[in-house]
Amino acid sequence: QVQLVESGGGLVQAGGSLRLSCAASGRTFSSYAMAWFRQVPGKEREFVAAISWFGGSTYYADSVKGRLTISRDNSKNAVYLQMNNLKPEDTAVYYCASSLGGAIGTMKDEYDYWGQGTQVTVSS
């Protein structure tokens, strides 16, 4: 059974930094693209960033480019999201997701396994 477990969320002031981690188990982690999505109450879950199976390709939502960085360590079955210069509008529950394949996707339907989420709150 595939499991994704996020950690690293919390409360931070605007301009601060956080590093989210996602630990994966239950499948050949290195074969699949991974992504981070986020969701606020009453809104659709939105794409944040994705990384290809080997880590050579990444893709970001325009709203986070230059501030958030996705990375992965296949030897540890882990994916990370380094979040710098955080803004109040980054406040959301952040979800780690594992893709149906090795290529990057930005749509929720392209991901078949999800973690439970970790709350990130940015105060102004």
Report d(CA 109, CA 124) in Å as an integer: 33
pLDDT at 73: 94
**What would the pLDDT profile of 90-99 be if each residue is shown by its tens digit?**
999 999 999 9
Q: Alpha carbon of 102 to those of 68, 109, 120: distances in Å?
A: 21, 14, 28
Q: How many helices (H) and strands (E) does the chain have?
A: 0, 11
What are the 10-residue block averages of pLDDT along the chain, 124 residues in total?
93 98 88 95 97 90 98 94 98 95 90 96 97
pLDDT at 14: 98
pLDDT at 76: 93
pLDDT at 33: 94
**Cβ–Cβ < 8 Å for 46, 61:** yes
| Cβ contacts of 36 within 8 Å, gap of 6 or more | 20, 22, 48, 49, 50, 70, 79, 81, 94, 95, 96, 97
pLDDT at 103: 83
